[in-house]
A and B are shown apart, each in its own frame.
Chain A
Amino acid sequence: MRKWQVSIAACFLIAALFVPLLVPTDYTLQILFRVFLFAALGLAWNLVGGYAGQLSLGHAAYFGVGAYGLALFSQLGISPWASVLLGVVLAIICAAMIGRVSFRLRGPYFALCTIAFAEVLRLVAKNLPSVTGGDVGVQVPLLFTQSTIRSFYWSGVLLTALAFALSAWIERSRFGYYLMAIREDQDTALSVGVNAARCKLWALLISAAITALGGALYASMFLFIVPDQVLAMDISTEIAIVAMLGGAGTLLGPLLGSVVLESAAEIFKNVFKEAHLLIYGVLIVLVVLFMPEGIVGTFTKKLGLYKKAPSAPFRAPLPSTTEEESQRIAVDE
């Protein structure tokens, strides 16, 4: 089953490279760029949220740091691509700090903490206009000077390929096993020597790096960013939903989720115009109610295929049965 997923994805990605030659309009390419961008972001999120089961709602932090990294470092005279790299490094540092605090928390506390960090970053960006341009925004250099839209599109496809390859490799490594063990039962994992804190942190660092790259690409395509655009909770939510809709904890999930969600969002915008957010909300509600395991997860369940781990689809952990366990919701000792 896993080999299937890898082959399907590989064919898809290779085919995707040829799309610009068939599609004439820049507008369509822009939308497709967004599809691949969020596929990559979803795959990155999936490392932490899907495999490790740590459902972060603050990934916009890394996205925004990548975006602002490109913008601000290049203002200092550093070349755009070097600025991207610096932005990624900065995002990794942020992830290290955020992870250290957040990973000690469990359940909703973890999610809320990630939200808090992302919001703090957003507010800092808003309130320091001398550094970040504040709400007015800041210019972002162009990363590609030729065949601009096509180049962005291809970079989106490449980023997705990178994220996918990383995920596929992690999935069948000891690291991947450990992440899933942490997701299923962290105490059991600890008892067999898994250094849960370190594993979760590494997953987050890798996730943050890819997310930051995505942020930089996104920023460069728009040439101008403001905090409420790249550090907004909406981005965090969209990333998480893309992965969950497609199937968190699976390889193809985030890819599929992005294709479905981003296309749907685009269609909604054109068909429903003002009501598109409402329809989007309805979509989220329906997915949670009827397809909590995402497309890939539900598909697998319906076909009765038991997927050999580590490709086992994300399954919501059962609630704690003892008061003692639920009292320890907040913090790991």
Chain B
Amino acid sequence: MFNWLYAPLQAILNGLLTGALYALIGMGMALIFGVMRIVNFAHGAFLMMGMYATYVLFQATGVSPYYQFPFAGVLLFFVGYATYMGLLRRIRGQVDFMVILLTMGLALILVDGAQLVFGADYHQINIPLLSKNVSIGSEMSINAPWLVSFAIAMVLVCALYWVVTRTMFGRAARAIAQNPYAAPLMGIDVHRVQAIAFGIGSAVAGIAGALLLPVFYLFPEVGNQFKLKSFVMVVLGGMGSIQGAAIAGLVLGVVESLTSLYWGNEWALAVDFVLFILVLSLKPSGIFGSQRA
């Protein structure tokens, strides 16, 4: 029943909850693309890996993803680190298109690999939390898992922001992005810092995958929709702005949710790209327009 006030409010609420996960994914990309200028088309595949890893662990131990997500994070950190050291480092001097192609190839390998190992079927898990709802007033409610993932995501978002802005490591990563030639002269071990940064960004994607598992279908191509979304968030938020990408994630969640409500689910995806094109045409430096981290 379409209720003119509560329906959009609920949609906004749901949008914020989804948006928190988007924000997490977007921040990971903001670190990789916004700060390091690496166009990582395997970001979605990393999310998928985190999701499958959590699934396997859940099937084996029964531990809820909301407790075991750090494992996905650690796993993807190493995957990311290895990807940088083994592959990306070799083409660092080249034009971005090469990085896009390389990471696309990597994504293909990971996605098809997942299909070979796990099959193309959709998987789902069931945890008791799924059936719990939290009521807000008399007209609105939140599905509990989303609330939990929102909380975890927000904590991680803040933690990531702190790492990038307040630690030496974060400063080193930003320094490299701003001037890759001067940074090593300042004693920064460029490749190690970038590998770690890439690892962190990938870990975040993996954790997002873990958090998604209870509320989403799992299948090899699950990461694809998030891949392009994360670029949209980084551009919307402004290159180099970690917090911008996070806020953009929340915005995207809400906009998608409202679009779903009024125009149907199919257009929700399209709205991401339309927003993207609009921002690129009108204010390419992003809503939070800073070109420096």
Contact = CB atoms under 8 A, between A and B. Distances in A.
Do A and B touch each other in the complex, judged by CB within 8 A? Answer: yes
Interface stretch (B61-69, B101-109, B244-252): B101-109
B108 A288 contact: no
B108 A280 contact: yes
B228 A115 contact: yes
Contact of B95 (A120, A127, A317, A326): A317
Contact of B105 (A55, A126, A240, A288): A288
A289 B102 CA distance: 8
Given A111-B39, A116-B273, A277-B111, A285 B284 contact: no
A138 interface: no
A57 B284 contact: no
Contact of A282 (B93, B104, B109, B267): B109
Question: By CB atoms of chain A within 10 A, which of B93, B106, B108, B239 has the most?
Answer: B108
A152 B106 CA distance: 34
B100 A111 contact: yes
Given A282-B109, A330-B284, A241 B181 contact: no
Interface residues on B, range: 35 or more
Interface string A54-95: 010100000000000000000000000000000000000000
Given A281-B105, A281-B109, A101 B91 contact: no
B281 A288 contact: no
A257 interface: no
B113 interface: yes
Given A281-B107, A323-B178, A123 B270 contact: yes
Given A317-B95, A319-B93, A112 B231 contact: yes
Contact of B108 (A111, A120, A284): A284
A108 B41 CA distance: 11
A257 to B, nearest CB: 13
B269 A123 contact: yes
B4 interface: no
Contacts, number: 137
Interface in A282-313: 282-285, 287-289, 292
Interface residue SS majority, chain A: helix
A107 B99 CA distance: 11
Contacts of A323: 178-179
Contacts of A112: 39, 231, 235, 276, 280
Contact of A281 (B33, B94, B112): B112
Contacts of B232: 116
A281 B273 CA distance: 26
Interface in B103-147: 104-109, 111-113, 115-116
B94 A292 contact: yes
B229 to A, nearest CB: 11
A241 B277 CA distance: 24
B109 A285 contact: yes
B285 interface: yes
Interface in A97-111: 101, 104-105, 107-109, 111
A288 B91 contact: yes
Contact of A127 (B87, B90, B97, B267): B267
B89 to A, nearest CB: 11
Contacts of A288: 91, 98, 101-102, 105
Contact of B181 (A109, A111, A277, A321): A321
Given A101-B280, A274-B115, A281-B107, A318 B93 contact: yes
Top 9 A-B pairs, shortest CB-CB distance = A281-B108, A284-B105, A278-B112, A281-B109, A277-B112, A123-B270, A285-B105, A316-B95, A55-B97
Interface of A: 55, 57, 101, 104-105, 107-109, 111-113, 115-117, 119-120, 123-124, 126-127, 237, 240-241, 244, 274-275, 277-278, 280-285, 287-289, 292, 316-319, 321, 323, 326-327, 329-331
13 contacts: A108-B96, A112-B39, A112-B235, A115-B228, A119-B228, A237-B104, A278-B108, A285-B87, A285-B105, A289-B102, A316-B93, A316-B95, A326-B178
